[in-house]
């Protein structure tokens, strides 16, 4: 294992310290317990909080700031944050209009955010993100929350900034989740620093289809084929899940898992654009890059979100975070 670390035990704290210094105009870093919060809080707005295990950066800390999250709670790598982190973050950023938790559908995240919600005296609500269509809807643990989380946090964050109340933000978030589907494919596994070796093995001629973002295997191991064939397979599952009609306006998001260069990600975008263009969809917005990563995993995911006029307006609204910035 070759990584820029002093010790696996101190990596997260060291990284958060560096992140906060690099973006001191946007965020503040709180310790004991750890959380990242927006430097300039806005009274009277719904506070948005998310979080999860580290290793997915820039998700979630990179999305703290104007037009997105008010706070993010980072757990250790691929480990859920604890309720005391969420409680402290909520008490710090609560602007008097309630707190909305945006939670990826993983058992530890769901349980700990629920516990924090029960301990808070301020009104709270939760949006559960479960956009991963590599798992069936009736799967025992439900569908996982993956790269579609970025889309949810951006759109709901803009709504909160514009004065939507707590119930409206929750309803909007749930609508975005229903309009969003994602699926990923890995060329390699990833290496968790504390583990010191890849979480699973793939031969040179193998890929993992329907992979998650925690170094776990996907729905099946397949043969390495052309990028065109891979995109057709992944996009086909998303198309089947959402069943968009010709003329439907969409956002297309190609998300890297951390180890795939942009030259490949933009090629994947071209292939996905051609796939949905041939289906008659109107691709009005795009996002390409590493936003929901899995440490050093080589691979990517496709996310499609069905847009209407409101969602398009909120996507375009100003945002100023470490990872997303436009209109400011």
Tokens coding 22 = 């690099």
HSE of 43, CA atoms in CB hemisphere, 13 A: 0
Distance from C-alpha of 24 to C-alpha of 40, rounded to nearest angstrom = 11
The tens digit of pLDDT for each residue in 52-66 reads 999 999 999 999 999
Question: CATH top-level class for 13-179?
Answer: alpha beta
* 197 noted as active-site residue: no
What is the DSSP code string of 189-257?
A: --B-TTT-SBSS---TTEEEET--SSS---SEEEE---HHHHHHHHHHHHHHHH-PPTT-EEEEEEEE-
The pLDDT confidence band at residue 136, using thresholds 50, 70 and 90, is confident
pTM exceeds cut of 0.95: yes
Averaged over 89-116, what is the pLDDT? Answer: 97
Which position among 56, 60, 237, 253 bears the catalytic label? Answer: 56
The gap between the terminal CA atoms of the chain, to the nearest Å, is: 41
The tens digit of pLDDT for each residue in 143-179 reads 999 999 999 999 999 999 999 999 999 999 999 999 9
Domain boundaries, the chain: 13-179, 180-306
Q: Which residue bears the tokens 């949810």? A: 152
How high does pLDDT run on average in the chain? 97
Which position among 30, 60, 139, 214 bears the catalytic label? Answer: 214
Please state whether beta strands 325-326 and 299-306 pair in parallel, antiparallel, or not at all (unpaired): unpaired
Give me the pLDDT at residue 140, please.
Answer: 72
Distance from C-alpha of 176 to C-alpha of 142, rounded to nearest angstrom = 17
Cα distances from 102 to residues 47, 156, 182, 273, in angstroms, run: 11, 9, 17, 29
H helix and E strand count, the chain = 8, 14
HSE of 205, CA atoms in CB hemisphere, 13 A: 1
Question: Which CATH number is 180-306 given?
Answer: 3.30.1180.20
Distance from C-alpha of 300 to C-alpha of 256, rounded to nearest angstrom = 4
* 23 noted as active-site residue: no
Percent helix, strand and coil across the chain, each rounded to 5? 35, 25, 40
The pLDDT confidence band at residue 5, using thresholds 50, 70 and 90, is very high
Query: What are residue 255's DSSP bridge partners?
Result: 289, 301
The tens digit of pLDDT for each residue in 186-206 reads 999 999 999 999 999 999 999
């Amino acid at each position: 294992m070759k990584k820029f670390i002093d010790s696996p035990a101190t990596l997260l704290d060291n990284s958060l310290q560096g992140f906060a210094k690099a973006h001191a105009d946007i965020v503040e870093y709180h310790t004991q317990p750890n959380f990242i919060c927006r430097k300039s809080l806005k009274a009277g707005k719904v506070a948005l909080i998310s979080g999860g295990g580290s290793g997915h950066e820039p998700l979630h800390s990179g999305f703290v700031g104007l037009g997105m999250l008010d706070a993010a709670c980072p757990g250790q790598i691929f480990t859920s944050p604890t309720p005391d982190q969420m409680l402290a973050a909520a008490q710090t950023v609560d602007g008097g209009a309630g707190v909305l938790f945006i939670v990826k559908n993983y058992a530890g995240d769901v349980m700990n955010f629920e516990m924090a919600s029960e301990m808070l005296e301020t009104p709270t609500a939760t949006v559960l993100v479960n956009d991963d269509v590599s798992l069936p809807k009736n799967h025992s643990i439900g569908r996982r929350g993956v790269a579609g989380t970025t889309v949810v946090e951006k759109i709901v964050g803009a709504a909160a900034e514009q004065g939507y109340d707590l119930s409206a933000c929750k309803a909007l978030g749930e609508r975005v989740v229903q309009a969003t589907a994602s699926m990923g494919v890995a060329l390699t596994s990833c290496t968790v620093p504390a583990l010191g070796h890849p979480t699973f093995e793939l031969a040179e001629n193998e890929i993992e289809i329907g992979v998650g973002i925690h170094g776990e295997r996907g729905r099946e191991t397949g043969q390495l084929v052309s990028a065109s064939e891979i995109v057709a397979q992944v996009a086909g599952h998303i198309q089947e899940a959402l069943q968009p009609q010709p003329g439907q306006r969409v956002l297309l998001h190609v998300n890297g898992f951390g180890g795939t260069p942009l030259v490949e990600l933009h090629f994947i975008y071209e292939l996905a654009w051609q796939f949905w263009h041939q289906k008659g969809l109107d691709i009005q917005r795009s996002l390409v890059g590493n936003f929901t990563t899995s440490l050093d995993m080589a691979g990517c995911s496709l996310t499609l979100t069905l847009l209407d006029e409101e969602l398009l307006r909120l996507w375009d609204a100003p945002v100023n975070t470490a990872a997303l910035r436009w209109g400011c």
